[in-house]
């Protein structure tokens, strides 16, 4: 059985989490006899990155699932209207200095996600982070460690796993895969199309342009190389360049990998063998690819098929995993297992101080799939990965993409 997925929208996420959101305990204002919402009801937020995605996560993961928030500060490297200099900033660290803010929403390009998220956690704030979670694998581990160290709530900006956890077939597969009763998994899961590969190819003919007067280009580049400004490296099209993101695969892939990971019980591990079919990669620009095959230690095979270049994936006869893959005694054990607990919304997690549905380790492992795929595409060879040590085995060039250098003075905490 071939498994296909559709693009996960925030609308479908909200539909699937409406019941959970309705259960959030918020005391109405009129009950307390006050004209303003009490502090316990309102989450005070700071927004870092005010472009086209800025504020979307606050609306989707707080307000639209039964919570309420107040936007107390905004920050962007493209200078905003400074009429109110008490709430507008050009340096994200000034937002972290404020003690009145509960949550930071990170909506910058991905090469800034990890550093800003960690800074927010260090300052005692919970985090809503846009996808993809990180630009490279080592950043994700640093975010996971920071969340544990500082006891903060983290939610990645995807809702697919919430929808998956409400589907009966997905619940059954999840129970099988997490039961420990299936020694080898014969399933092949194919995600075909939806990555916008051709659209997200970078340009190799960029010429230096004057930096706009209202843009701090040095701060925009931050930990990435300081290259000459060109408008194609800024704004929406930053996605097309390895300096800032990972093409359409990284931009859209976390939406698709998040529900896959939950359904197949892979929130705590990563593939061990990765092979890609693609033309030679450009050192700076994301480009075309045909498909990437990623195999887990238990045999589960995940295939990302772009459908935009080369021949479609046809190496194996796709099939699913079900109770037929277990003996009769094991089948009864799976059927008797209780259904998994509903995933917590971000608001529930903030109020209870328990992990949100897309918690740090799961989000890190989901985006690691995409990073490994891009590493195989960029190196042009099959790689073997150790999901415990989180390093490519015997391949120094590939490991330089696992843990990429940052431009001084920026660096990941040790």
Is the model's pLDDT at 180 over the cut of 60?
Answer: yes
> What residue spans define the domains of the chain?
10-158
**127 or 25: which carries more pLDDT confidence?**
127
Is the model's pLDDT at 151 over the cut of 80?
Answer: yes
Residue 27 pLDDT grade (very low, low, confident, very high; cuts 50, 70, 90): very low
pTM: 0.90
What is the predicted pLDDT for the residue at 319? 85
What is the predicted pLDDT for the residue at 14? 38
Is the model's pLDDT at 8 over the cut of 70?
Answer: no
What is the predicted pLDDT for the residue at 356? 96
What is the predicted pLDDT for the residue at 217? 97
Mean pLDDT within 5-25: 37
CATH topology of domain 10-158: Rossmann fold (3.40.50)
Sheet with 188-192, strands from edge to edge, namely: 188-192, 301-305, 291-295, 273-277, 383-386, 391-392
Is the model's pLDDT at 343 over the cut of 90?
Answer: yes
What is the predicted pLDDT for the residue at 123? 97
Q: Across all residues in the chain, what is the average pLDDT? A: 89
What is the predicted pLDDT for the residue at 83? 54
Mean pLDDT within 60-80: 92
Is the model's pLDDT at 15 over the cut of 60?
Answer: no
Residue 301 pLDDT grade (very low, low, confident, very high; cuts 50, 70, 90): very high
Over residues 120-133, the pLDDT tens digits come to 999 999 999 999 99
Share of the chain above pLDDT 70, in %: 89
What is the predicted pLDDT for the residue at 159? 83
What is the predicted pLDDT for the residue at 32? 32
Over residues 233-289, the pLDDT tens digits come to 999 999 999 999 999 999 999 999 999 999 999 999 999 999 999 999 999 999 999
Over residues 102-115, the pLDDT tens digits come to 999 999 999 999 99
């Amino acid at each position: 059985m071939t498994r296909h997925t559709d693009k996960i929208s925030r609308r479908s996420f909200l539909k699937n989490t409406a019941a959970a959101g309705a259960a959030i305990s918020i005391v109405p204002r009129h009950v307390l006899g006050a004209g303003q919402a009490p502090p316990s009801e309102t989450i005070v937020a700071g927004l870092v990155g005010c472009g086209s995605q800025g504020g979307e996560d606050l609306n989707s993961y707080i307000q639209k699932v039964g919570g309420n928030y107040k936007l107390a500060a905004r920050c962007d490297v493209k200078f905003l209207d400074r009429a109110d200099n008490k709430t507008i900033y050009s340096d994200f660290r000034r937002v972290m200095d404020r003690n009145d803010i509960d949550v930071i929403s990170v909506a910058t390009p991905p090469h800034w996600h990890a550093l800003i998220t960690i800074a927010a956690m260090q300052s005692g704030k919970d985090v809503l982070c846009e996808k993809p979670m990180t630009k490279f694998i080592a950043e994700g581990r640093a975010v996971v460690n920071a969340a544990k160290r500082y006891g903060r709530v983290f939610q990645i900006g995807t809702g697919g796993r919430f929808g998956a956890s409400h589907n009966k077939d997905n619940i059954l597969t999840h129970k099988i895969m997490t039961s420990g009763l299936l020694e080898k998994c014969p399933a092949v899961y194919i995600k075909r199309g939806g990555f916008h590969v051709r659209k997200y190819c970078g340009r190799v003919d960029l010429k230096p342009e004057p930096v706009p007067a209202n843009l701090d280009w040095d701060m925009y580049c931050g930990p990435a190389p300081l290259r000459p400004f060109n408008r194609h490296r800024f704004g929406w099209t930053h996605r097309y360049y390895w300096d800032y993101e990972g093409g359409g695969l990284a931009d859209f892939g976390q939406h698709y990998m998040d529900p896959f990971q939950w359904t197949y019980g892979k929130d705590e591990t990563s593939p061990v063998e990765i092979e890609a079919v693609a033309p030679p990669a450009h050192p700076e620009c994301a480009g075309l690819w045909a498909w990437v095959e990623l195999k887990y230690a238990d045999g589960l095979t995940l295939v990302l098929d772009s459908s935009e270049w080369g021949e479609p994936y046809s190496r194996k006869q796709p099939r699913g995993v079900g109770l037929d893959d277990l003996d009769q005694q094991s089948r009864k054990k799976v059927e008797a297992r209780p259904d998994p607990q509903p995933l917590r919304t971000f608001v529930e997690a903030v109020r209870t101080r328990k992990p949100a549905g897309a918690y740090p380790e799961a989000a890190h492992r989901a985006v690691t799939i995409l990073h490994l795929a891009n590493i195989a595409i960029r190196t042009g060879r099959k790689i073997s990965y150790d999901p415990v040590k989180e390093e490519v085995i015997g391949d120094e060039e590939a490991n330089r993409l696992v843990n990429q250098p940052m431009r001084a003075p920026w660096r990941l905490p040790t």
